Structure 1
Amino acid sequence: MTFTLTLFRHAKSSWDDSVPRDFDRPLNKRGEKAAITMGTWVKRNGLVFDHVVASPAVRVIDTIDQFVKGTGGRMDPHWDRRIYLASSATLMDVLRDQSDEHKNLLMVGHNPGMEDLVFDLCPDDGTSPLRDLVWEKYPTAAIARMELNIDHWADVERSCGQLTHFIRPRDLDPDLGPEDE
C-alpha cells in the first residue's frame, strides 16, 4: 500500500517584526505571495490531502492561510506543537502517530527538520535529480512530495519513500527566487 506525504516548509517570515519570541514571527509580503503561488500550483496539479498536520507557529498558520487562498479550498489543520523546530526523528514520530484512515498527508513545518526528513525517508541511490535539488537547498515555501511504501503510518522508517515532486517558489515565479540573485 502507498501512503503519500507532502512536506510544505513555511513561507518567508519577517525578521523585521519586533516580536518577543521566534514562535510569533509572521510572514512578510514575499512569503505571503509565495504561499499563494504554491497553493495555486497544488490546485493546478491536482494534489490532494485528506489530513493536514502543522506546527502552531504564527508563520506556519500564516502560510496555511495564504496557501488556502491559492488552492481556493479550505483546510482544517491539526496543530501539533512537536513539529515546531523539530528534528527528522521527531517528525517521524509525528507521522507514526497519524491515523491510517488518512492516506494523503500534508505536514507544514520548519527546517532543518523538513529537509532532513526528505533525506531520511528517500534513500540516496544517485538516481534522483529531485533529491539533489533538496540537497542544494530546501527554501521557504518549497514543497516535497513522497510516496511511502508502508502499510500503516506506524511503519514509517528510514528509506521507505520515493521523492516524486520538489517544487520551489522560484520555479513558478522568478521574482520569488533568492533575494541576492
Structure 2
Amino acid sequence: MKTLTLLRHAKSSWDDTVERDFDRPVNGRGRRAAARIGRWIGDERLSFDHVVASPAVRVRQTIEGVEDGLGSMLQPLWDTRIYLSSAATLMLLAQQFSDAKDDALLVGHNPGCEDLLLMLVPPGSGPLRDEAEIKYPTATLARIELDIARWADLDDNKGRLSHFIRPRDLDPTLGPDD
C-alpha cells in the first residue's frame, strides 16, 4: 500500500509586484494557514518518507510555514516539473517515485493538485471527494490511500481519500473573506 498526500500552496499575495508568477509570495493568512496545517500534521502524527515540491516561492514559503507548525523539517526535493503542471504530469512524476518510499507528499499548485485528486479518487466515493470536487482551496491537504505495491501502478480511480483538510476546517478565521 502507498499513500500520496497532496498539499496545495498557501494563499499568495497578489499585492506584491513581482515580475514573474513564479516569484509570488504567500500573504499573511497564507503563512498562518500553512503553520496550522503543519500543526495538524503533527497532531495526526503523519510522516512522509518522500517529499517533492515545486520550487516556486509560494510553495517554498508554504513548506517553511508547515515546518514551523510541525516543528520539524520536511526536506523536500525541488522539482520544476511541478510548477503549474497538469494532473497528467503529476501522475507521471508520482509513477516514478522509488518503490522503497511508501508515504509521499507532493506540494504544488492548482489546477494540477485538484485534478490529480479527482483522477485518483473515483466519483461517488464519499463526501470528502464531493468537497474536493467543489473546491480545493489554498493550503489544503488531501491524503490519498492507494492499494498498490509499486508507484508505477498508480492510475485513475485507484485511490481512497482518507483526509481532505482545509485551513478553515481547523481555524474558521482562515476561511474565505465572504
Class of the TM-score when normalised by the shorter of the 2 chains: over 0.9
What pairs up with 1:84-163 in 2 under 5 angstroms?
84-124=83-123, 126-163=124-161
Letter in 2 for 1:156: L
Aligned length: 178
Give distance in 1, aligned partners of 2:74 and 2:113. Answer: 20
**Structure 2 runs not aligned, ≥5 long:** none
Aligned to 2:44: 45
4+ runs deviating over 6 angstroms: none
Measured against aligned partners, the alpha-carbon deviations of 1:77-120 in whole angstroms (never above 9, x if no partner) come to 01111111111100001101111111000000000110010110
Q: How far apart, CA to CA, are the structure 1 residues paired with 2:63 and 2:91?
A: 21
Aligned residue type for 1:110: H
Structure 1, unpaired ranges of 5+ = none
Give the corresponding residue for 1:6: 5
Aligned CA RMSD, in angstroms, stands at 0.7
When normalised by structure 1's length, the TM-score is 0.97
Partners of 1:94 and 1:127 in 2: how far apart?
A: 25
Q: Distance in 2 between matches of 1:77 and 1:164?
A: 23
Equivalent position of 1:62 in the other structure: 61
Instruction: Please state whether the residue corresponding to 1:8 is helix, strand or coil.
Output: strand
Shift of 1:127: 3.8
Specify whether residues 128 and 30 from structure 1 end up closer, same or farther in structure 2 by C-alpha distance, changes over 3 A only: same
* Matching residue of 1:169: 167
Three-state SS of the structure 2 residue aligned to 1:118 is: helix
